[in-house]
Structure formats: structure tokens, C-alpha cells
Chains A and B, each alone.
Chain A
Amino acid sequence: MRILDLATILGLGAGLGLVSAHWAVAGRPVVGKVEVGSWMAWPGSGSRDVDPYMRAYLARGVHLPIGAGEGLELIAERSDDGAPLEGRCRYRVSGTIPPSRGWTLGVTDGAGRPFHLPLERVSFTDSEIVRGEDGGLSITAAAAAQAGNWLPLPAGGRFQLRLRLYDTPVSSQTGETRAANLPRITRIDCR
């Protein structure tokens, strides 16, 4: 009976410990995440004192995160109404972008890989955007062609928007950034 107890303890401990560790770092960890509106950031990932979960996540693949003094990467998986971003819908990305030397806004899958779409437009940079008379930003993300700044989406399935800010003062104060200082992601309609 004691052997059975010991086997239960060892099995439960090893199994649950390994599975929970794998689950915790299979994707970007919850620990260290900063949420500003629809956007998520892990500002500690590019610092000297990166937390153990992010360190383990980065070590499981070939990652080179943007350094804390180099810039900041923001990821959105949901629109402002809280619904997941899906290829069958149209979205408008508008508003302001924090001051930086340059930024890029791209569409990726859940693992951060760009989609292979017929049109080779996976992202915009600050120099490629056509702005309105008021100088505002407006990008339409949709699977079908759109007028203006069109960011093509896959025909279906989930996707992410990744905003990378280079040489920005926001990188050191991500937690204090207000949602109004980041672009809004508005769902226009869905098929």
C-alpha cells in the first residue's frame, strides 16, 4: 500500500509538474503581460531581468525579442469589442501611434509568422501609409481588396496584429500608456 502511495505521489508530481510547465511556456506567458486596450505587450522580454517564464518561452525557439531600449512590440488578438480577430471580418485600425523613429504594423498567425497570401503585403511601415487630410492613421484590414491602406487578411481563421515601435520612449513605460495613445481596432463587419 505504501508503494502505491509513493507511486501516486511521484506520478502526480512529475506528470502535473511537467505538463503545467509545458502549458505555461507553450505560448507567450501570462506572467509579465501588460494589456493596454486591445494590445498586449511583454516589456520585460527585452530586458536584463526577464522573468523565468518568458525566459523559458524564448529559449524554446529561435527568438530575439526587441530590446527594452530598442523598441517595443505590441500584439493584438482581439478587436476593441473583445471579439477575436478573424479573417472573415473587416477591421479598421485608426487613431494615434506613440512617437517613435519608425513603426511597422503587420498581420501574422498565432505564432508570429506572416501569412502566405497572393498579394505580398504583410505589413505597413510609417513611410508606406497614405494619410488623410487631418494626418490621421486609417488602415483597413480585410480579405477582399479595400480602398486606401489595405492590409490583406487570410480568408478565414484567427490572426494577430503586431505593432512594432522602434526607438520609442513608450518602451520604458508601457504599463502607464493609455489605450487612447494606441491605435483602435474597430470591427466593421463580418461575412
Chain B
Amino acid sequence: MSALDPTAAPLPDEARPGKAPRPAPAPRSWPERLRSAAMRLALTTLAGLMLAAIVHIVTILLIPVLSQRDAAHAYRNLGSEGHAEIVPPAGNASGLPPLQEADPNAVTAICGYDLSAGPMRVVAHIGTLPLGLTLHRQGGGVIYAITDRAAIRGVLEFLVMTEAQYDERVANDEEGETSRELRVVSDTAQGLIVARVLAKRPSDRADAEALATGIQCGMAN
């Protein structure tokens, strides 16, 4: 290895002419080492906690998106015959999971909706028992609730549609005329229409079931 060799490694400071040798670093004392380790542990823990907060928030937000065990997935096929179907009790033959935290005095019937083929029309003939209709979107949240007190001539009727279908329907409305349809916009294409009828006495249960299953849900057009 010659001094003219450009690939040669530079000479150490001690070997360079005219340079004073650098003093060797003094060994660190135990308190300094402990302080350094504690600082490192604190920074690592802080970084871990910050990551934990991010993981926590992301997990909470992702659970409704990824869940396949929620009511919207479990009951999505109920109501495919054009009328609401009663939520089956535990241990039913259809294998559907029972509704959790359900009121034993209320009859719950469901129409699953999928608006990809078009808006859905819901028609409910009211009776003497309290009836509530709610729209539960996939991913959580009740986007609409109405009770039988809003019925006109004994009938509750509304359309469920997406924002695009709503715009299309408004564009097709007759100029200058006010539509009498009650239009409910769902921000998800899938969801559940849930009818709950309160059976105030055990003898009311048959009436409540008839009322709940009598709710029609089909294509609007």
C-alpha cells in the first residue's frame, strides 16, 4: 500500500505528522450509565405508549368495518320474501344467532336491504300495539326512526335510497309538484329495517307478530 494509492485508508490521527494524539475516552461512571439507561428506557416506553394509542384508535375504528358477527351481517337475508321476518330465538333451526340484549316483551322483525338494485319501499299497517321502525346501517348507527304515531290513515310508508338514487328521484319529480313520498337516505347500500312491536300482555304476542311480519319491504320501482 503506497502513499499515492487513492484507495488507501487515511492514516490515523496519531500517525499523521504534526497532529497531537487524541486522548482516549474516559470510562463512564455507573451513575452516568444508569442515567443513560433510564433515559433510554423512558424514551422507549414513551414511543411504545404513543404507538399503543395509535393502535388503540385504529382498532376501535376498524372493528365495525371488519366485523362479520354484527346484526347487519347476521340478519342481512331476512325479509328477502318481501315482508319482514321475525328474529329467530336462540337455538333455532336456521342457525341464525339470537338478538343480544333484546326486550322479551317486544317482537322484532327485520328486512335486510341492499340498495344496489334500487330504492326499497317499506309499508307498515299499524295496529293497536306500539310499533317502531328503525333503519340500522351496516357498520353501526341508526339513521332513521319512526313510530306508528306518524302513520297517515293507518299506514306508515317510506322509501329507503342512496344519495345518488335520491338525486335521481328528485330530478324525475314533476316540475312544480311536491312529492308526497317520505324519502330516507341511507349512506350505506346495505343495512337493516327493524320493526319492534311491544306486546304489552302475553296474549298480545300473536297480534304483535302479525303486525311485525305484515310489514312489506320490496323494490320501490
Task: Indicate whether B219 reaches chain A with its CB closer than 8 angstroms.
Answer: no
Closest chain A CB from B182 CB (angstroms): 14
Q: How far is the CA of A42 from the CA of B58 in the complex (A)?
A: 23
Q: Spot the interface stretch: B14-22, B111-119, B166-174, B194-202.
A: B194-202
Known: A59-B140, A166-B130. A66 touches B45 (CB 8 A): no
- Per-position binary interface string of chain A over residues 1-37, scored 1 when its CB falls under 8 Å from any chain B CB and 0 otherwise: 0000100111111111110110011000000000000
Instruction: Provide the bound-state CA to CA distance between A164 and B60, in Å.
Output: 28
Closest 3 CB pairs of A and B: A17-B55, A13-B51, A12-B48
Q: Name B's A-contacting residues (CB within 8 A).
A: 40, 44-45, 47-56, 58-61, 63-64, 67, 69-71, 74-75, 97-106, 108, 130, 132-134, 136, 139-147, 149, 192, 194, 196, 198-201
Whole-angstrom distance between the alpha carbons of A43 and B98 in the complex? 23
Nearest-CB residue, chain B, relative to A24: B60
- In the complex, A119 has a CB within 8 A of chain B: no
A-B contacts, 26 listed (Cβ < 8 Å): A10-B51, A12-B45, A12-B51, A13-B51, A17-B51, A21-B55, A21-B63, A47-B141, A56-B60, A56-B140, A58-B140, A59-B67, A60-B69, A62-B69, A62-B99, A63-B70, A63-B99, A64-B194, A65-B142, A66-B196, A67-B134, A69-B145, A70-B147, A70-B196, A101-B147, A128-B201
A49 at the interface (CB under 8 A from B): yes
- Whether A62 pairs with B100 at a CB distance below 8 angstroms is yes
Q: How many Å lie between the Cα of A122 and that of B106 in the bound state?
A: 13
Main secondary structure of the interface of B (DSSP, over half): mixed
**B71 touches which of A64, A67, A125, A167 (Cβ 8 Å):** A64
Count chain A residues whose beta carbon lies closer than 8 angstroms to a beta carbon of B: 60
Q: CB of A153 within 8 A of chain B?
A: no
Asked if residues B145 and A70 are in contact (CB atoms below 8 Å), the reply is yes
CB distance from A13 to the nearest CB of B (A): 3
CB contact under 8 A between A16 and B48, given known A47-B142, A64-B99, A106-B104: yes
Given A50-B142, A62-B74, A123-B104, 13 further pairs, Cβ under 8 A: A12-B51, A21-B55, A21-B56, A55-B140, A55-B141, A58-B70, A64-B134, A67-B134, A67-B145, A69-B134, A70-B134, A102-B130, A106-B105
